[in-house]
């Protein structure tokens, strides 16, 4: 009985994000397992502004379902909200993201090595088509932020 009471007080919680895509669609995704523990440490160290780390970041997300252990095409979304959920979400983002200051800075543009290095990080070890789509999305996000009214 004591174990049951103890366990009910400390239910598992999950860090999730709302991601906006270039077409305006938004989805809620749970961060992957490999980011949950580091994010909880970050929250502990930055209890008042922890969400700022991910707000505006670009993050890899699957464009479809995983079937027969095959990775679906990847697309890049922009994180517009960060929150904690009491239940696990069925869909997850990938673990690669670029913080807003690394891609939105007025001093950064797609022709600089820093921008290209960030894109390469998002491209991870994906096949060539995925890498192309990720680079295209990053460029379009950059253009969208520079030319917005």
Per-residue pLDDT at 60:
94
Per-residue pLDDT at 11:
65
Q: Is residue 68 part of a domain?
A: yes
Q: Is residue 85 part of a domain?
A: yes
Does position 135 have pLDDT exceeding 80, yes or no? yes
Q: Is residue 4 part of a domain?
A: no
Q: Is residue 63 part of a domain?
A: yes
Does position 23 have pLDDT exceeding 90, yes or no? yes
Cα 130 to Cα 32, 73, 113, 120, 137: the distances in Å are 19, 6, 20, 11, 11
Q: Is residue 87 part of a domain?
A: yes
Number of domains present in the structure of the chain = 1
Does position 4 have pLDDT exceeding 90, yes or no? no
If we measure between CA atoms, which residue out of 102, 124, 101 comes closest to residue 113? Answer: 102
User: What's the whole-number average pLDDT of the chain?
Assistant: 87
Q: Is residue 22 part of a domain?
A: yes
Per-residue pLDDT at 63:
85
Q: Is residue 2 part of a domain?
A: no
Enclosing H/E stretch for 105: none
Per-residue pLDDT at 114:
86
Q: What are 36's two structure tokens?
A: 């949950």
- Residue 11 or 68, more confident: 68
Q: CA 122 to CA 95: how far, in whole Å?
A: 9
- Owning domain of residue 67: 14-147
Does position 128 have pLDDT exceeding 60, yes or no? yes
Q: Is residue 26 part of a domain?
A: yes
pLDDT digits (tens, 9 = 90+) for 103-122: 887 777 788 888 899 999 99
């Amino acid at each position: 009985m004591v174990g049951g009471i103890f366990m009910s007080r400390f239910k598992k919680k999950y860090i999730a994000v709302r991601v906006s895509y270039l077409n305006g669609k938004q989805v809620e995704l749970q961060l992957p397992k490999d980011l949950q523990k580091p994010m909880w440490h970050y929250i502990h160290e930055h209890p008042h502004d922890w969400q700022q780390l991910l707000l505006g970041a670009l993050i890899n997300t699957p464009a479809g379902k995983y079937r027969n252990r095959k990775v679906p095409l990847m697309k890049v979304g922009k994180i517009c909200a960060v929150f904690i959920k009491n239940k696990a979400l069925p869909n997850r983002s990938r673990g690669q993201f670029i913080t807003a200051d690394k891609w939105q800075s007025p001093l950064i543009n797609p022709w600089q090595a820093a921008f290209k290095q960030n894109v390469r990080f998002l491209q991870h070890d994906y096949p060539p088509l995925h890498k192309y789509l990720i680079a295209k999305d990053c460029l379009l996000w950059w253009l969208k932020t520079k030319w917005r009214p």
